[in-house]
Chain A
Amino acid sequence: MFKVFKAFVQKELYHILRDKRTLLILFGMPIAQVLIFGYAVTNEFRDAYLDVYDQAGDYLSQELVQHLQSSGHFKVNQMIRSEQQLEDGFKAGTTKLAIVIPSDFASELSEGTSVTVQLLADGSDPNNANTLVQYASTMIGSFQQERLAQPTNPYQIDVQTRMLYNPQLESAHNFVPGTIALILLIISAMMTSLTIAREKELGTMEILLVSPLPPLLIILGKVTPYAALSFIDALLVLILGYFVFDVPIVGNLALLLGVCFLYVVAALALGTLISTVSKTQQDAMLRSLMGLMMPSMLLSGFIFPLASMPKVLQVLGAIIPATYFIEILKGVMLRGVGFHLVVWEVLILVGMTIFLLFMTYRNFKIRLE
Protein backbone atom coordinates (compact mmCIF):
# COMPACT_ATOMS: atom_id res chain seq x y z
CA MET A 1 0.00 0.00 0.00
CA PHE A 2 2.80 2.38 0.85
CA LYS A 3 4.39 1.77 -2.54
CA VAL A 4 1.19 2.76 -4.27
CA PHE A 5 0.99 5.85 -2.11
CA LYS A 6 4.54 6.75 -3.04
CA ALA A 7 3.80 6.41 -6.75
CA PHE A 8 0.88 8.76 -6.25
CA VAL A 9 2.80 11.42 -4.38
CA GLN A 10 5.62 11.26 -6.92
CA LYS A 11 3.20 11.83 -9.76
CA GLU A 12 1.59 14.72 -7.93
CA LEU A 13 4.99 16.33 -7.40
CA TYR A 14 5.69 16.09 -11.13
CA HIS A 15 2.44 17.97 -11.78
CA ILE A 16 3.36 20.68 -9.31
CA LEU A 17 6.98 21.11 -10.31
CA ARG A 18 6.22 21.23 -14.03
CA ASP A 19 3.51 23.81 -13.88
CA LYS A 20 4.89 27.34 -13.62
CA ARG A 21 1.57 28.76 -12.55
CA THR A 22 1.25 26.31 -9.69
CA LEU A 23 4.78 27.08 -8.57
CA LEU A 24 4.06 30.77 -8.71
CA ILE A 25 0.97 30.36 -6.55
CA LEU A 26 2.85 28.10 -4.16
CA PHE A 27 5.89 30.23 -3.56
CA GLY A 28 5.41 33.60 -5.24
CA MET A 29 2.08 34.39 -3.68
CA PRO A 30 2.96 33.96 0.01
CA ILE A 31 6.02 36.15 -0.39
CA ALA A 32 4.16 38.77 -2.40
CA GLN A 33 1.29 38.80 0.06
CA VAL A 34 3.50 39.28 3.09
CA LEU A 35 5.44 42.05 1.42
CA ILE A 36 2.35 43.83 0.13
CA PHE A 37 0.56 43.64 3.42
CA GLY A 38 3.73 44.62 5.21
CA TYR A 39 4.72 47.63 3.19
CA ALA A 40 1.60 48.88 1.52
CA VAL A 41 -1.24 48.18 3.87
CA THR A 42 -0.45 50.30 6.83
CA ASN A 43 -2.39 52.75 8.93
CA GLU A 44 0.62 54.84 9.75
CA PHE A 45 1.45 57.88 7.68
CA ARG A 46 4.10 60.52 7.35
CA ASP A 47 4.01 63.87 5.63
CA ALA A 48 0.29 64.05 5.14
CA TYR A 49 -0.68 67.29 3.41
CA LEU A 50 -2.48 69.85 5.46
CA ASP A 51 -4.24 72.90 4.12
CA VAL A 52 -4.39 75.90 6.40
CA TYR A 53 -7.13 78.52 6.31
CA ASP A 54 -5.67 80.97 8.77
CA GLN A 55 -8.21 83.72 9.24
CA ALA A 56 -6.31 85.11 12.22
CA GLY A 57 -2.85 85.38 10.72
CA ASP A 58 -1.26 86.33 14.04
CA TYR A 59 1.79 84.96 15.84
CA LEU A 60 -0.17 82.44 17.87
CA SER A 61 -1.94 80.90 14.89
CA GLN A 62 1.38 80.66 13.09
CA GLU A 63 2.90 78.91 16.04
CA LEU A 64 0.04 76.40 16.02
CA VAL A 65 0.73 75.63 12.36
CA GLN A 66 4.44 75.33 13.15
CA HIS A 67 3.63 72.95 15.94
CA LEU A 68 1.53 70.77 13.68
CA GLN A 69 4.37 70.50 11.21
CA SER A 70 6.99 69.80 13.83
CA SER A 71 5.63 66.30 14.43
CA GLY A 72 6.75 65.18 11.00
CA HIS A 73 3.28 63.89 10.28
CA PHE A 74 1.99 66.97 8.52
CA LYS A 75 3.28 69.20 5.80
CA VAL A 76 1.52 72.38 4.84
CA ASN A 77 0.22 72.00 1.34
CA GLN A 78 -1.17 75.47 0.74
CA MET A 79 -2.46 78.46 2.58
CA ILE A 80 -6.13 78.91 1.85
CA ARG A 81 -7.53 82.37 1.29
CA SER A 82 -11.25 81.81 0.91
CA GLU A 83 -13.97 79.31 1.61
CA GLN A 84 -14.40 78.83 -2.10
CA GLN A 85 -10.78 77.79 -2.41
CA LEU A 86 -11.27 75.39 0.46
CA GLU A 87 -14.20 73.72 -1.22
CA ASP A 88 -12.42 73.55 -4.56
CA GLY A 89 -9.47 71.83 -2.93
CA PHE A 90 -11.64 69.08 -1.45
CA LYS A 91 -13.56 68.62 -4.68
CA ALA A 92 -10.37 68.31 -6.70
CA GLY A 93 -9.07 65.80 -4.19
CA THR A 94 -5.89 67.77 -3.55
CA THR A 95 -7.00 68.61 0.00
CA LYS A 96 -7.37 65.76 2.47
CA LEU A 97 -7.30 67.72 5.70
CA ALA A 98 -7.77 71.40 6.36
CA ILE A 99 -7.58 73.42 9.53
CA VAL A 100 -9.60 76.62 9.89
CA ILE A 101 -8.32 79.04 12.50
CA PRO A 102 -10.82 81.80 13.41
CA SER A 103 -9.81 85.47 13.14
CA ASP A 104 -10.07 86.10 16.87
CA PHE A 105 -7.88 83.12 17.75
CA ALA A 106 -5.15 84.86 19.76
CA SER A 107 -7.30 87.52 21.36
CA GLU A 108 -10.02 85.16 22.55
CA LEU A 109 -7.47 82.80 23.97
CA SER A 110 -5.68 85.51 25.89
CA GLU A 111 -9.00 86.70 27.27
CA GLY A 112 -9.50 83.27 28.68
CA THR A 113 -12.59 82.34 26.70
CA SER A 114 -12.57 79.13 24.82
CA VAL A 115 -12.06 79.13 21.10
CA THR A 116 -13.03 76.76 18.31
CA VAL A 117 -10.63 75.50 15.70
CA GLN A 118 -12.21 73.64 12.82
CA LEU A 119 -10.75 70.52 11.23
CA LEU A 120 -12.14 69.50 7.86
CA ALA A 121 -11.34 66.12 6.39
CA ASP A 122 -12.31 64.26 3.24
CA GLY A 123 -14.77 61.71 4.54
CA SER A 124 -14.97 59.79 1.30
CA ASP A 125 -11.95 57.93 2.61
CA PRO A 126 -13.17 57.38 6.16
CA ASN A 127 -10.25 55.42 7.56
CA ASN A 128 -7.74 57.94 6.37
CA ALA A 129 -9.88 60.89 7.47
CA ASN A 130 -10.27 59.42 10.91
CA THR A 131 -6.58 58.86 11.39
CA LEU A 132 -5.69 62.35 10.14
CA VAL A 133 -8.22 64.04 12.39
CA GLN A 134 -7.05 62.03 15.37
CA TYR A 135 -3.42 62.97 14.84
CA ALA A 136 -4.26 66.61 14.29
CA SER A 137 -6.46 66.76 17.40
CA THR A 138 -3.71 65.24 19.49
CA MET A 139 -1.25 67.78 18.16
CA ILE A 140 -3.60 70.67 18.88
CA GLY A 141 -4.12 69.30 22.36
CA SER A 142 -0.41 69.15 23.05
CA PHE A 143 -0.03 72.69 21.69
CA GLN A 144 -2.56 73.86 24.19
CA GLN A 145 -0.72 72.14 27.03
CA GLU A 146 2.61 73.57 26.01
CA ARG A 147 1.65 77.14 25.22
CA LEU A 148 -1.15 77.80 27.59
CA ALA A 149 -0.02 75.87 30.60
CA GLN A 150 -2.06 77.73 33.14
CA PRO A 151 -4.99 75.46 33.76
CA THR A 152 -7.82 77.25 35.49
CA ASN A 153 -8.89 73.89 36.79
CA PRO A 154 -6.08 72.20 38.75
CA TYR A 155 -7.74 68.81 38.60
CA GLN A 156 -6.82 67.48 35.23
CA ILE A 157 -7.12 63.90 34.06
CA ASP A 158 -3.90 62.81 32.50
CA VAL A 159 -4.40 59.88 30.18
CA GLN A 160 -1.53 57.46 29.78
CA THR A 161 -1.87 54.88 27.06
CA ARG A 162 0.14 51.73 26.58
CA MET A 163 -0.53 49.27 23.80
CA LEU A 164 0.15 45.82 25.19
CA TYR A 165 1.76 43.09 23.05
CA ASN A 166 2.27 45.48 20.17
CA PRO A 167 3.47 48.77 21.64
CA GLN A 168 4.27 50.40 18.31
CA LEU A 169 0.92 49.30 16.86
CA GLU A 170 2.76 47.70 13.98
CA SER A 171 0.19 46.49 11.47
CA ALA A 172 2.52 43.60 10.60
CA HIS A 173 1.57 41.99 13.87
CA ASN A 174 -1.98 41.75 12.66
CA PHE A 175 -1.42 40.70 9.08
CA VAL A 176 1.11 37.90 9.58
CA PRO A 177 -1.41 35.61 11.34
CA GLY A 178 -4.07 36.64 8.81
CA THR A 179 -1.77 35.97 5.89
CA ILE A 180 -0.90 32.53 7.21
CA ALA A 181 -4.60 31.75 7.47
CA LEU A 182 -5.22 32.90 3.89
CA ILE A 183 -2.18 31.19 2.39
CA LEU A 184 -2.94 27.87 4.05
CA LEU A 185 -6.49 28.15 2.82
CA ILE A 186 -5.51 29.01 -0.74
CA ILE A 187 -3.01 26.20 -1.03
CA SER A 188 -4.73 23.51 0.98
CA ALA A 189 -8.29 24.15 -0.09
CA MET A 190 -8.17 25.90 -3.45
CA MET A 191 -5.23 24.03 -4.93
CA THR A 192 -6.49 20.60 -3.89
CA SER A 193 -9.97 21.30 -5.17
CA LEU A 194 -8.39 22.43 -8.43
CA THR A 195 -6.16 19.42 -8.82
CA ILE A 196 -8.96 16.94 -8.10
CA ALA A 197 -11.25 18.79 -10.50
CA ARG A 198 -8.49 18.58 -13.08
CA GLU A 199 -8.36 14.80 -12.80
CA LYS A 200 -12.09 14.76 -13.37
CA GLU A 201 -11.80 17.00 -16.40
CA LEU A 202 -9.04 14.86 -17.87
CA GLY A 203 -10.96 11.66 -17.25
CA THR A 204 -8.08 10.24 -15.23
CA MET A 205 -10.20 10.24 -12.08
CA GLU A 206 -12.39 7.60 -13.69
CA ILE A 207 -9.39 5.42 -14.37
CA LEU A 208 -8.24 5.82 -10.78
CA LEU A 209 -11.69 4.86 -9.51
CA VAL A 210 -11.74 1.77 -11.73
CA SER A 211 -8.35 0.76 -10.39
CA PRO A 212 -8.21 -1.30 -7.18
CA LEU A 213 -7.12 1.76 -5.20
CA PRO A 214 -9.38 2.51 -2.22
CA PRO A 215 -10.94 5.97 -2.65
CA LEU A 216 -9.44 7.11 0.62
CA LEU A 217 -5.97 6.42 -0.73
CA ILE A 218 -6.69 8.39 -3.89
CA ILE A 219 -7.68 11.40 -1.79
CA LEU A 220 -4.74 11.02 0.58
CA GLY A 221 -2.33 10.65 -2.31
CA LYS A 222 -3.64 13.84 -3.83
CA VAL A 223 -3.72 15.99 -0.72
CA THR A 224 -0.51 14.94 1.02
CA PRO A 225 1.87 16.90 -1.23
CA TYR A 226 -0.26 20.01 -0.83
CA ALA A 227 -0.40 19.59 2.92
CA ALA A 228 3.38 19.42 3.04
CA LEU A 229 3.79 22.42 0.74
CA SER A 230 1.32 24.58 2.62
CA PHE A 231 3.23 23.80 5.78
CA ILE A 232 6.41 25.01 4.17
CA ASP A 233 4.55 28.14 3.17
CA ALA A 234 3.35 28.74 6.70
CA LEU A 235 6.95 28.55 7.89
CA LEU A 236 8.00 30.87 5.07
CA VAL A 237 5.48 33.49 6.16
CA LEU A 238 6.52 33.17 9.81
CA ILE A 239 10.18 33.56 8.90
CA LEU A 240 9.51 36.54 6.63
CA GLY A 241 7.38 38.15 9.31
CA TYR A 242 10.05 37.55 11.91
CA PHE A 243 13.05 38.80 9.98
CA VAL A 244 11.56 41.48 7.72
CA PHE A 245 8.85 42.93 9.93
CA ASP A 246 10.01 41.92 13.42
CA VAL A 247 6.83 40.04 14.20
CA PRO A 248 7.67 38.07 17.32
CA ILE A 249 6.72 34.51 18.14
CA VAL A 250 6.26 34.81 21.86
CA GLY A 251 4.40 31.58 22.52
CA ASN A 252 5.12 27.91 22.09
CA LEU A 253 6.26 27.10 18.55
CA ALA A 254 5.10 23.49 18.80
CA LEU A 255 1.61 24.60 19.77
CA LEU A 256 1.66 27.09 16.91
CA LEU A 257 2.62 24.45 14.35
CA GLY A 258 0.18 21.96 15.82
CA VAL A 259 -2.67 24.40 15.31
CA CYS A 260 -1.42 25.08 11.78
CA PHE A 261 -1.59 21.35 11.11
CA LEU A 262 -5.14 21.16 12.41
CA TYR A 263 -6.15 24.07 10.21
CA VAL A 264 -4.47 22.51 7.17
CA VAL A 265 -6.49 19.32 7.68
CA ALA A 266 -9.67 21.38 7.88
CA ALA A 267 -8.74 23.28 4.73
CA LEU A 268 -7.88 20.08 2.85
CA ALA A 269 -11.24 18.62 3.80
CA LEU A 270 -12.89 21.81 2.55
CA GLY A 271 -10.97 21.60 -0.72
CA THR A 272 -11.91 17.99 -1.26
CA LEU A 273 -15.50 18.77 -0.39
CA ILE A 274 -15.55 21.53 -3.00
CA SER A 275 -14.03 19.21 -5.58
CA THR A 276 -16.73 16.59 -5.03
CA VAL A 277 -19.35 19.07 -6.20
CA SER A 278 -17.32 20.74 -8.97
CA LYS A 279 -17.09 19.24 -12.41
CA THR A 280 -14.44 21.51 -13.87
CA GLN A 281 -11.42 23.42 -12.63
CA GLN A 282 -13.17 26.69 -13.35
CA ASP A 283 -16.10 25.60 -11.27
CA ALA A 284 -13.81 24.61 -8.41
CA MET A 285 -11.93 27.90 -8.67
CA LEU A 286 -15.09 30.00 -8.48
CA ARG A 287 -16.46 28.02 -5.58
CA SER A 288 -13.26 28.34 -3.58
CA LEU A 289 -12.89 32.04 -4.33
CA MET A 290 -16.46 32.94 -3.47
CA GLY A 291 -17.06 30.37 -0.78
CA LEU A 292 -13.72 30.39 0.98
CA MET A 293 -11.40 33.24 0.12
CA MET A 294 -13.87 36.11 0.32
CA PRO A 295 -15.46 35.19 3.64
CA SER A 296 -12.13 34.23 5.16
CA MET A 297 -10.66 37.57 4.18
CA LEU A 298 -13.61 39.77 5.11
CA LEU A 299 -15.43 37.97 7.90
CA SER A 300 -12.65 36.37 9.91
CA GLY A 301 -11.67 39.52 11.72
CA PHE A 302 -8.48 39.68 9.66
CA ILE A 303 -9.22 43.04 8.06
CA PHE A 304 -12.41 44.27 9.73
CA PRO A 305 -13.13 43.60 13.40
CA LEU A 306 -15.97 41.12 13.81
CA ALA A 307 -17.42 42.84 16.86
CA SER A 308 -18.48 45.91 14.90
CA MET A 309 -20.33 43.93 12.22
CA PRO A 310 -24.08 43.36 12.02
CA LYS A 311 -25.30 40.22 13.75
CA VAL A 312 -25.79 38.30 10.48
CA LEU A 313 -22.20 38.79 9.46
CA GLN A 314 -20.99 37.94 12.95
CA VAL A 315 -22.80 34.61 12.74
CA LEU A 316 -21.25 33.98 9.34
CA GLY A 317 -17.87 34.87 10.73
CA ALA A 318 -18.40 32.41 13.56
CA ILE A 319 -18.71 29.45 11.20
CA ILE A 320 -15.50 30.21 9.32
CA PRO A 321 -12.50 28.17 10.49
CA ALA A 322 -10.14 31.07 9.73
CA THR A 323 -11.82 33.18 12.45
CA TYR A 324 -10.71 30.78 15.17
CA PHE A 325 -7.40 30.03 13.58
CA ILE A 326 -6.43 33.71 13.44
CA GLU A 327 -7.61 34.16 17.02
CA ILE A 328 -5.38 31.29 18.18
CA LEU A 329 -2.42 32.46 16.11
CA LYS A 330 -2.61 35.96 17.54
CA GLY A 331 -2.84 34.57 21.05
CA VAL A 332 0.07 32.21 20.71
CA MET A 333 2.32 34.37 18.52
CA LEU A 334 1.82 37.81 20.02
CA ARG A 335 0.48 37.34 23.54
CA GLY A 336 2.37 34.13 24.20
CA VAL A 337 -0.61 32.37 25.70
CA GLY A 338 -0.50 28.65 26.43
CA PHE A 339 -2.83 25.91 25.34
CA HIS A 340 -5.23 26.37 28.27
CA LEU A 341 -6.19 29.85 27.06
CA VAL A 342 -6.99 28.87 23.47
CA VAL A 343 -8.49 25.49 24.26
CA TRP A 344 -12.01 26.66 23.38
CA GLU A 345 -10.98 27.89 19.94
CA VAL A 346 -8.94 24.74 19.35
CA LEU A 347 -11.94 22.58 20.28
CA ILE A 348 -14.17 24.46 17.85
CA LEU A 349 -11.57 23.99 15.14
CA VAL A 350 -11.33 20.27 15.91
CA GLY A 351 -15.10 19.99 15.77
CA MET A 352 -15.24 21.78 12.42
CA THR A 353 -12.48 19.57 11.03
CA ILE A 354 -14.25 16.36 12.06
CA PHE A 355 -17.50 17.63 10.57
CA LEU A 356 -15.81 18.57 7.28
CA LEU A 357 -13.96 15.24 7.06
CA PHE A 358 -17.22 13.40 7.63
CA MET A 359 -19.04 15.46 4.97
CA THR A 360 -16.23 14.90 2.49
CA TYR A 361 -16.18 11.17 3.07
CA ARG A 362 -19.96 10.93 2.73
CA ASN A 363 -20.04 13.04 -0.43
CA PHE A 364 -17.27 11.05 -2.02
CA LYS A 365 -19.13 7.82 -1.30
CA ILE A 366 -22.39 9.09 -2.74
CA ARG A 367 -20.64 10.18 -5.89
CA LEU A 368 -19.27 6.69 -6.33
CA GLU A 369 -22.70 5.05 -6.19
Chain B
Amino acid sequence: MTEHAIEVTGLTKRFGDFTAVDAISFHVSKGEIFGFLGANGAGKTTAMRMLIGLSKPTEGDGFVAGYNIRTEAEQIKKGIGYMSQKFSLYNDLTVKENIRFYGGIYGLSKKQIAEKTAEILEELDLLEVAKKTVGALPLGWKQRLSFAVSMVHDPDIVFLDEPTGGVDPYVRRQFWETIYQQADAGRTIFVTTHYMDEAEYCDRVSIMVAGSIEALDTPKELKKQFASTTMDDVFLKLAR
Protein backbone atom coordinates (compact mmCIF):
# COMPACT_ATOMS: atom_id res chain seq x y z
CA MET B 1 0.00 0.00 0.00
CA THR B 2 1.10 3.55 -0.61
CA GLU B 3 0.00 6.91 0.61
CA HIS B 4 -0.02 8.28 -2.89
CA ALA B 5 -3.07 8.07 -5.07
CA ILE B 6 -0.90 7.27 -8.06
CA GLU B 7 2.67 6.10 -8.07
CA VAL B 8 4.61 4.81 -11.08
CA THR B 9 8.24 3.87 -11.58
CA GLY B 10 9.93 3.27 -14.90
CA LEU B 11 6.62 2.94 -16.73
CA THR B 12 7.32 2.03 -20.36
CA LYS B 13 5.20 1.14 -23.37
CA ARG B 14 6.63 0.00 -26.67
CA PHE B 15 4.77 -0.72 -29.87
CA GLY B 16 7.25 -2.76 -31.90
CA ASP B 17 10.35 -0.59 -32.28
CA PHE B 18 8.58 2.57 -31.25
CA THR B 19 8.77 3.61 -27.61
CA ALA B 20 5.66 5.62 -26.89
CA VAL B 21 6.28 6.01 -23.16
CA ASP B 22 9.89 5.85 -22.01
CA ALA B 23 10.43 4.89 -18.38
CA ILE B 24 8.42 7.62 -16.67
CA SER B 25 8.27 7.86 -12.88
CA PHE B 26 6.09 10.14 -10.80
CA HIS B 27 3.59 10.16 -8.00
CA VAL B 28 0.35 12.00 -7.35
CA SER B 29 -0.73 12.75 -3.78
CA LYS B 30 -4.23 12.21 -2.53
CA GLY B 31 -6.47 15.21 -3.14
CA GLU B 32 -4.02 16.74 -5.59
CA ILE B 33 -4.89 18.27 -8.94
CA PHE B 34 -2.21 16.89 -11.22
CA GLY B 35 -1.81 18.35 -14.70
CA PHE B 36 -0.48 15.94 -17.30
CA LEU B 37 0.77 18.00 -20.24
CA GLY B 38 2.47 17.30 -23.51
CA ALA B 39 2.25 18.00 -27.22
CA ASN B 40 0.19 15.74 -29.45
CA GLY B 41 1.98 12.42 -29.84
CA ALA B 42 4.15 12.90 -26.76
CA GLY B 43 2.69 9.78 -25.19
CA LYS B 44 0.16 11.31 -22.80
CA THR B 45 -2.77 9.18 -23.90
CA THR B 46 -0.71 5.97 -23.93
CA ALA B 47 0.54 6.68 -20.40
CA MET B 48 -2.96 7.42 -19.20
CA ARG B 49 -4.36 4.26 -20.80
CA MET B 50 -1.89 2.24 -18.76
CA LEU B 51 -3.00 3.99 -15.58
CA ILE B 52 -6.70 3.32 -16.14
CA GLY B 53 -6.25 -0.35 -17.00
CA LEU B 54 -6.87 -0.17 -20.74
CA SER B 55 -3.34 -1.12 -21.69
CA LYS B 56 -0.60 -3.22 -20.11
CA PRO B 57 2.86 -1.64 -19.56
CA THR B 58 5.79 -3.21 -21.39
CA GLU B 59 8.05 -2.45 -18.47
CA GLY B 60 7.89 -0.70 -15.13
CA ASP B 61 5.41 -0.80 -12.35
CA GLY B 62 2.71 1.35 -10.89
CA PHE B 63 -0.03 1.65 -8.32
CA VAL B 64 -3.31 3.44 -8.77
CA ALA B 65 -5.66 3.78 -5.80
CA GLY B 66 -3.50 1.23 -4.02
CA TYR B 67 -3.71 -1.44 -6.71
CA ASN B 68 -1.05 -2.74 -9.05
CA ILE B 69 -1.63 -1.67 -12.65
CA ARG B 70 -0.18 -4.93 -13.96
CA THR B 71 -2.13 -7.40 -11.93
CA GLU B 72 -5.09 -5.60 -10.43
CA ALA B 73 -6.53 -3.62 -13.31
CA GLU B 74 -10.03 -4.81 -12.48
CA GLN B 75 -9.77 -3.46 -8.92
CA ILE B 76 -8.43 -0.15 -10.22
CA LYS B 77 -11.40 0.21 -12.56
CA LYS B 78 -13.80 0.13 -9.61
CA GLY B 79 -11.97 2.92 -7.83
CA ILE B 80 -11.50 5.43 -10.63
CA GLY B 81 -13.68 7.67 -12.73
CA TYR B 82 -12.90 8.62 -16.30
CA MET B 83 -14.11 11.41 -18.53
CA SER B 84 -12.90 11.64 -22.10
CA GLN B 85 -12.68 14.62 -24.42
CA LYS B 86 -15.80 13.45 -26.23
CA PHE B 87 -17.92 13.84 -23.04
CA SER B 88 -19.22 10.31 -23.57
CA LEU B 89 -22.88 10.77 -22.82
CA TYR B 90 -25.64 9.25 -24.90
CA ASN B 91 -27.28 12.06 -26.83
CA ASP B 92 -30.53 10.19 -27.40
CA LEU B 93 -30.98 9.40 -23.72
CA THR B 94 -32.31 11.92 -21.22
CA VAL B 95 -30.19 13.39 -18.45
CA LYS B 96 -31.80 11.04 -15.94
CA GLU B 97 -31.40 7.99 -18.13
CA ASN B 98 -27.72 8.70 -18.64
CA ILE B 99 -27.16 8.92 -14.89
CA ARG B 100 -29.19 5.77 -14.35
CA PHE B 101 -27.25 3.84 -16.98
CA TYR B 102 -23.82 4.77 -15.68
CA GLY B 103 -24.96 4.14 -12.12
CA GLY B 104 -26.24 0.78 -13.32
CA ILE B 105 -22.99 -0.35 -14.89
CA TYR B 106 -21.12 0.51 -11.68
CA GLY B 107 -23.55 -1.72 -9.83
CA LEU B 108 -25.31 0.97 -7.81
CA SER B 109 -28.62 -0.01 -6.24
CA LYS B 110 -31.91 1.59 -7.26
CA LYS B 111 -31.91 3.67 -4.11
CA GLN B 112 -28.33 4.81 -4.60
CA ILE B 113 -29.08 5.78 -8.19
CA ALA B 114 -32.13 7.79 -7.14
CA GLU B 115 -30.10 9.63 -4.49
CA LYS B 116 -27.21 10.26 -6.84
CA THR B 117 -29.56 11.51 -9.55
CA ALA B 118 -31.23 13.95 -7.20
CA GLU B 119 -27.84 15.14 -5.99
CA ILE B 120 -26.42 15.72 -9.46
CA LEU B 121 -29.54 17.42 -10.80
CA GLU B 122 -29.61 19.71 -7.76
CA GLU B 123 -25.91 20.52 -7.80
CA LEU B 124 -25.69 21.21 -11.52
CA ASP B 125 -29.03 22.97 -11.57
CA LEU B 126 -30.38 20.55 -14.17
CA LEU B 127 -33.76 19.82 -12.56
CA GLU B 128 -35.70 21.50 -15.31
CA VAL B 129 -34.03 19.60 -18.11
CA ALA B 130 -33.85 16.24 -16.34
CA LYS B 131 -36.23 14.68 -18.84
CA LYS B 132 -34.69 16.28 -21.90
CA THR B 133 -32.32 14.34 -24.09
CA VAL B 134 -28.69 15.20 -23.56
CA GLY B 135 -28.33 16.08 -27.24
CA ALA B 136 -30.42 19.21 -26.61
CA LEU B 137 -28.12 20.57 -23.88
CA PRO B 138 -25.47 23.26 -24.44
CA LEU B 139 -21.89 21.99 -24.55
CA GLY B 140 -20.92 23.45 -21.19
CA TRP B 141 -23.80 21.66 -19.46
CA LYS B 142 -22.96 18.37 -21.13
CA GLN B 143 -19.41 18.76 -19.94
CA ARG B 144 -20.32 19.29 -16.31
CA LEU B 145 -22.89 16.52 -16.45
CA SER B 146 -20.28 14.21 -17.96
CA PHE B 147 -17.91 15.09 -15.12
CA ALA B 148 -20.60 14.40 -12.54
CA VAL B 149 -21.50 11.12 -14.22
CA SER B 150 -17.87 10.00 -14.18
CA MET B 151 -18.04 10.29 -10.39
CA VAL B 152 -21.38 8.56 -9.97
CA HIS B 153 -19.69 5.71 -8.01
CA ASP B 154 -17.67 8.08 -5.78
CA PRO B 155 -14.21 7.15 -7.04
CA ASP B 156 -11.06 8.26 -5.20
CA ILE B 157 -9.36 9.35 -8.40
CA VAL B 158 -10.85 10.92 -11.51
CA PHE B 159 -9.01 10.92 -14.82
CA LEU B 160 -9.95 13.75 -17.15
CA ASP B 161 -8.72 13.48 -20.73
CA GLU B 162 -8.78 16.98 -22.24
CA PRO B 163 -12.11 17.68 -20.60
CA THR B 164 -12.50 21.26 -21.82
CA GLY B 165 -12.04 20.86 -25.56
CA GLY B 166 -14.21 23.12 -27.66
CA VAL B 167 -15.80 25.30 -24.99
CA ASP B 168 -15.32 29.00 -24.37
CA PRO B 169 -13.06 30.46 -21.63
CA TYR B 170 -15.98 31.38 -19.39
CA VAL B 171 -17.35 27.85 -19.42
CA ARG B 172 -13.86 26.52 -18.87
CA ARG B 173 -13.46 28.68 -15.80
CA GLN B 174 -16.79 27.39 -14.51
CA PHE B 175 -15.70 23.85 -15.11
CA TRP B 176 -12.51 24.34 -13.16
CA GLU B 177 -14.51 25.59 -10.23
CA THR B 178 -16.26 22.24 -10.07
CA ILE B 179 -12.88 20.51 -10.31
CA TYR B 180 -11.68 22.51 -7.31
CA GLN B 181 -14.80 21.55 -5.37
CA GLN B 182 -14.07 17.90 -5.96
CA ALA B 183 -10.40 18.25 -5.01
CA ASP B 184 -11.37 20.08 -1.84
CA ALA B 185 -13.63 17.16 -1.01
CA GLY B 186 -10.56 14.93 -1.11
CA ARG B 187 -10.74 13.51 -4.62
CA THR B 188 -7.57 13.19 -6.65
CA ILE B 189 -7.77 14.76 -10.08
CA PHE B 190 -5.52 13.66 -12.93
CA VAL B 191 -6.08 15.93 -15.91
CA THR B 192 -4.59 16.24 -19.38
CA THR B 193 -5.01 19.51 -21.21
CA HIS B 194 -3.82 21.62 -24.10
CA TYR B 195 -4.69 24.92 -22.45
CA MET B 196 -1.80 26.47 -20.60
CA ASP B 197 -4.01 28.75 -18.56
CA GLU B 198 -5.53 25.58 -17.16
CA ALA B 199 -2.07 24.30 -16.29
CA GLU B 200 -1.81 27.26 -13.94
CA TYR B 201 -4.83 25.95 -12.04
CA CYS B 202 -3.13 22.66 -11.22
CA ASP B 203 -1.28 21.93 -7.98
CA ARG B 204 1.53 20.30 -9.90
CA VAL B 205 2.22 19.86 -13.58
CA SER B 206 4.25 17.35 -15.58
CA ILE B 207 5.26 17.98 -19.15
CA MET B 208 5.92 15.04 -21.46
CA VAL B 209 8.18 15.33 -24.49
CA ALA B 210 8.75 12.37 -26.82
CA GLY B 211 7.77 9.76 -24.27
CA SER B 212 9.64 11.16 -21.27
CA ILE B 213 8.66 13.53 -18.51
CA GLU B 214 10.91 16.55 -19.01
CA ALA B 215 9.60 18.71 -16.20
CA LEU B 216 7.53 18.15 -13.09
CA ASP B 217 6.78 20.73 -10.42
CA THR B 218 4.31 23.35 -9.31
CA PRO B 219 3.50 25.90 -12.01
CA LYS B 220 5.28 28.53 -9.97
CA GLU B 221 8.51 26.55 -9.68
CA LEU B 222 8.40 25.58 -13.32
CA LYS B 223 8.15 29.19 -14.39
CA LYS B 224 11.11 30.04 -12.17
CA GLN B 225 13.10 27.10 -13.46
CA PHE B 226 12.60 28.05 -17.09
CA ALA B 227 12.78 31.80 -16.47
CA SER B 228 9.36 32.37 -17.94
CA THR B 229 6.39 34.46 -16.96
CA THR B 230 3.73 32.13 -18.28
CA MET B 231 3.23 28.38 -18.54
CA ASP B 232 2.78 28.89 -22.25
CA ASP B 233 6.38 29.96 -22.41
CA VAL B 234 7.57 27.03 -20.32
CA PHE B 235 5.75 24.63 -22.60
CA LEU B 236 7.16 26.16 -25.76
CA LYS B 237 10.72 26.08 -24.41
CA LEU B 238 10.36 22.40 -23.58
CA ALA B 239 8.43 21.17 -26.52
CA ARG B 240 10.66 22.79 -29.11
Contacts and interface: CB of A to CB of B under 8 A. Distances in A.
Interface of A: 3-4, 6-8, 10-11, 14-15, 18-19, 202-204, 206-213, 368-369
Contacts of B91: 202
B90 A211 contact: no
Nearest to B161: A206
A183 B65 CA distance: 48
21 contacts: A3-B107, A7-B100, A7-B101, A8-B101, A10-B101, A11-B90, A11-B93, A14-B92, A14-B93, A15-B92, A202-B88, A202-B91, A203-B85, A206-B82, A207-B83, A207-B84, A210-B77, A211-B105, A212-B77, A212-B107, A368-B55
Nearest to A221: B105
Contacts of B56: 369
Interface string B71-102: 00010011010111111111111000100111
B149 to A, nearest CB: 9
B140 interface: no
A14 B97 CA distance: 9
Nearest to B86: A203
B130 to A, nearest CB: 15
Contacts of A368: 54-55
B28 interface: no
Interface residues of B, number: 31
Contact of A15 (B55, B80, B85, B90): B90
Contact of A18 (B54, B85, B92, B103): B92
Contacts, number: 74
B181 to A, nearest CB: 22
A219 to B, nearest CB: 14
A8 B150 CA distance: 17
Contacts of B107: 3-4, 212
Contacts of A211: 77, 105-106
B214 to A, nearest CB: 27
B62 interface: no
B52 interface: yes
Contacts of A15: 90, 92-93
B60 interface: no
B77 A204 contact: no
Contacts of A213: 105
B13 to A, nearest CB: 11
B84 A206 contact: yes
B54 A4 contact: no
Contact of A204 (B52, B74, B88): B88
Contact of A207 (B53, B88, B97): B88
Contact of A212 (B74, B89, B92): B74
Contacts of A204: 86, 88-90
A209 B76 CA distance: 12
A211 B87 CA distance: 15
